[in-house]
Amino acid sequence: MAQEPDKASRLMITLAVMSATLIQVLDTTIVNVALPHMQGELGATTDQISWVLTSYLVTAAIFMPLTGYFSDILGRKRYLLICIAGFVGASALCGIAGNVVQIVLFRMLQGMFGAALVPLSQAIMSDAYPPEERGKAMALWGLGVMVGPVLGPTMGGWLTEVASWRWTFYINVPVGALSWFLASQFVPETQKKARKMDWPGLVLLAAGVAGSQYALDRGNQQDWLAAADIRIAAVLGVVGIAGFSWYSLRAKQRALFDIRIFTDRNFATACLVIALLGLGMFGTIVVQPILLERLLNYPILTTGMIMAPRGIATAVSMLLVGRLVGRTDARVLVGAGMLISAVGSHFMTHYSLDINAFWIVWPAMLQGLGMGLIFVPLSTIAYATLPRARMAEAAGLYSLVRTMGSAIGISIVTTLLSRQGQVLWNELGGHLTRFNPAVQHYLRGLHLPPDSPKAAALIAEQVARQAEMLAMIDVFQLITWSFVAMLPLVFLLKKKQAGGGPIPVTAE
């Protein structure tokens, strides 16, 4: 076993892996706000430019579970350096892309190299700190994972406005170079292991993950199973994941990874919770910009400023819980986080078109505070009863489940928002006629006759805004109940002793 790093080395390791984590997580959201600018400059259609997001997500999802395999055959440090260098190089190529085909290919490269950065950084941080400080380590690591998606749209909007959409990629180069240098100097190497590539398992896993991710990412745009490509992707996803599970149980030691890792109760329960958390974590991020920019007409930078306190609250709660997780039952912290997040989400159901910024900010901060309480102890106890030798493999799977959970959560939110918006538009519109006294009173105040085209257009616009606002309230209600529904899962987690970290278990 390698010698445990001293305090100064741990600080450098933390800076190295945190910066690598941050650029990877930021890149999943920072590009979103720049898509319209990219579409215009690259001469792409709306469908073509959406592949800038889809290609990255699908490729990253395929390569994420391979983290354990490549860590074993290359060594964890060498694989980390390869991934950082490849991610930085692909980012630079994205920045100089001249057409949509080039940028989609370069985004696939980004996803391939960036997939392992989060699970690798988690495994390295867990090994670098002694058990009594592992909660603090997971809190620091979690800052990048949780705060990155919140800061991404803000930073992306600012860079696009003051410079160019290309700087949403160029920004990765200096940060990645610093991360690579620190990792090369301070991250300890792990012992290599001889492993053979499980090609049948890889094909089944790639088909399952790629099909599922494609269907989740593009389903709402194409009316789900009404589109042939979504039907094919969904079937591919189900068959691939089911086939991989069956194959892995039969192959055992020869499998790409041992699926029996999910028989560990703590790890399996933590994976289920982190997947369900995707609805609350990313659902709000999806809905709030629509509310602020489209319905309340806030500029993009103001939207970013209003959304930022949620990320700050998450960061603060993570730092606080990092000190508590070694002394307090982790189940209490996770349960408290779920309740606080549910309360914050409940207050969001009182949003309206007349709301001011303050009443948007503080419920979001409350929700962010609760999620910070969930994320850190959950990340700590997920690996508590696993062998140290399986840490990288488990981290890759945990990150994959988190990614897939986020994709499912975003799909649920976007589908509910669009379909409820249509239903409510029809319900509200059914009560509006030129003979309705409320309509006549409203138009009289605007000095418009009820039968004028301008009056009809104005009423249609107001109905659409109100319908979308009510649909958002339905989304926030679903998010509230999702946090409440997660509470029973807390009791499935095994109690950790105070002062504990991951329990050292001898590998089989």
The yes-or-no verdict on residue 498 having pLDDT over 60 is no
pLDDT at 501 over 60: no
Residues 96 and 213 in one domain: no
Same domain, 330 and 401: yes
Task: Let me know whether 310 and 245 are in one domain.
Answer: no
Res 346 pLDDT > 90: yes
DSSP state of 502: S
Q: For residue 450, what pLDDT is reported?
A: 67
Hey, which of 5-14, 275-284, 429-438, 447-456 has the most confident mean pLDDT?
A: 275-284
Q: Is there a single domain that holds both residue 49 and residue 96?
A: yes
Supply the CATH number for residue 466's domain: 1.20.1250.20
Is the pLDDT at 109 greater than 70? The verdict is yes
DSSP tag of 495: P
pLDDT-based confidence at residue 496 (cuts at 50, 70, 90): low
pLDDT at 49 over 90: no
Q: What is the pLDDT of residue 499?
A: 36
Please name which of 32, 76, 73, 77 lies closest in space to residue 52, comparing C-alpha atoms: 32
Query: Reduced to 3 states, what is the DSSP secondary structure of residue 317?
Result: helix
**How large is the C-alpha radius of gyration of the chain?**
24
Counts for the chain of helices (H) and strands (E), in that order: 19, 0
More confident residue, 76 or 506: 76
Cα–Cα distance for residue pair 47/116, rounded to 1 Å: 28
pLDDT of residue 115: 87
Top mean pLDDT of 36-45, 198-207, 316-325 is at 198-207
Q: Stretch 220-233: mean pLDDT, rounded?
A: 85
Q: Look at residues 212, 227, 255 and tell me which one is the last residue of a structural domain.
A: 255
Residue 193: phi and psi, rounded to 5, are -130, 140
Residue 3 has what pLDDT?
A: 56
Pair (371, 421) in one structural domain = yes
Range of the domain at 67: 1-197
pTM for this predicted structure: 0.78
* Residues 176 and 207 both lie in one domain: no
Q: What is the pLDDT of residues 392-422, one digit of tens each?
A: 778 778 878 888 888 788 888 888 888 888 8
Confidence label for 447 from pLDDT (cuts 50, 70 and 90): low
What's the Cα-to-Cα distance from 156 to each of 89, 149, 379, 384, 484, rounded to whole Å? 19, 11, 28, 37, 33
In terms of pLDDT, which residue wins out, 439 or 375? 375
For residues 289 and 362, state if they share a domain. yes
Q: Which residue has tokens 């290919």?
A: 105
Closest Cα partner for 218 from 37, 65, 26, 407?
407
pLDDT tens-digit readout, 67-79: 888 888 888 899 9
396 and 497 belong to one structural domain: yes
Same domain assignment for residues 93 and 215: no
Q: Which residues contact 438 (CB under 8 A, 6 or more apart)?
A: none
Considering the domain architecture, whether residues 193 and 322 belong to the same structural domain is answered as no
* Residue 295 tokens, joined: 């319905």
Nearest-5° angle of CA 333, CA 123, CA 339? 15
Q: How confident is the model at residue 495 (pLDDT cuts 50, 70, 90)?
A: low
Q: Is the pLDDT of residue 473 over 90?
A: yes
* d(C-alpha 474, C-alpha 263), whole Å: 36
pLDDT tens digit sequence for 76-101: 899 999 999 999 999 999 999 888 88
99 & 146 share domain: yes
On the question of pLDDT at 2 being above 70, the answer is: no
Reading the block at residue 254, the tokens are 């020869």
In the chain, % of residues over pLDDT 70: 89
Query: Cβ of 308: how many Cβ atoms within 10 Å?
Result: 18
What is each CA distance from 144 to 151, 250, 318, 489, in whole angstroms? Answer: 10, 38, 11, 25
Q: Among 111-125, 178-192, 296-310, whose mean pLDDT is lowest?
A: 296-310
Q: Which residues of 217-256 are buried (b: 16+ CB within 10 A; e: fewer)?
A: bbbbeeeeeeeeebeebbebbeebbebbeebbeebeeebb
Q: Are residues 149 and 46 in the same domain?
A: yes
Number of domains in the chain: 3
